Amino acid sequence: MPSIPGGKATVTPYVVAHGADAFLAFIEKAFDADVYLRVPNPDGSIGHAEAKIGSSVLMTFDASPDWPPTPSFLSVYVDDVDATIDRAVSAGASIVTEVMESAITGDRGGRLRDPIGNVWWVQTHQRDVSPSEMQAAFGDHDELAKIRSAQVSFDTEMRSRRMTQPDAQPSPDPAFEAAYQAARKSFGEGGIPIGAALARDGVVIASGHNERVQNGDPIAHGEMAALRAAGRQKSYRDTTLYTTLAPCAMCTGTIIQFKIPRVVVGEARTFDGEFELLRSRGVEVVVLDDQRCVDMMRTFQEENPELWAEDIAE
């Protein structure tokens, strides 16, 4: 008799899920999983379930309501990573790391966060890489930048989960969340992690992030990028500008120039900005002191002191 049951591998992932039904529905839509076994508990929750994705078996069950989240990190190879990620996003996933090609692994892949919080590293293998090619790729600046982008985006995702702790405060509204996600995008690109969004009556008109590094534009601050993306507006007097970091003198001047009446700021601990000037001109300033923004900016400042000094002209 074989020591491993039919269909199983030596190691089989067992996902502890707060919402196993939702998890199974997600993998069916995203990865065309075949859910072939469900064993219910007396209360209707899932005591054990098994599904097959490609040649691999994945198991799951419902966590007890008083258990803490225990997210999994799962690597999966698929025939078409771009199509798979599109299906996953349609099924409720969020992008963690944008899809990129790696000369080091020969893969094209990206990361997702599924609706219950697991992270998936989704990849398509494009070619085999010899040891000499791999060694050469590790010396390539562009390849190293891709590695750094993948590391930073995953680090940002993990740090953002501090918000699930009991003493954390949720994001106040979708407009600020748009600004925060824009900052995360810039961070993942190796840029300065400052995002902004312009909203009217709670509806986001446009968002943007600092692009000084990405585009070589010295005045492409986050607030400027959001305003540029919003295009011409007949009036800004009924809008709110959301930004993850206290505005600098240049962005403050723009806010005053266009008579934007209210600014919501993620944090001012890592940079105190020009609040006094804004308030002296009648602008309402709301500071959220969002820990996610603090953590992200502190990480950037510690790792890129010269770039940060350049951004604030010090």
Residue 208, classified by CB atoms within 10 Å of its CB into exposed (0-12), middle (13-18) or buried (19+), is buried
Report whether 108 contacts 81 (CB < 8 A). yes
Give every CB contact of residue 211 below 8 A, 6+ residues apart in sequence.
Answer: 186, 191, 217, 220, 225
For the question of residue 276 being annotated catalytic, the response is no
Give every CB contact of residue 162 below 8 A, 6+ residues apart in sequence.
Answer: 168, 291, 292, 295
Number of Cβ within a 10 Å radius of residue 257: 9
Give every CB contact of residue 253 below 8 A, 6+ residues apart in sequence.
Answer: none
Cα-to-chain-centroid distance, residue 15: 22
∠ CA 81-84-89, nearest 5°, is 120
d(CA 307, CA 301): 8
**Candidate list 50, 143, 211, 223, residue with the active-site label:** 223
CB burial string 133-155: b at 16+ within 10 A, e below: eeeebeeeeebeebeebbebbbe
Report whether 207 contacts 168 (CB < 8 A). no
Catalytic residues: 223
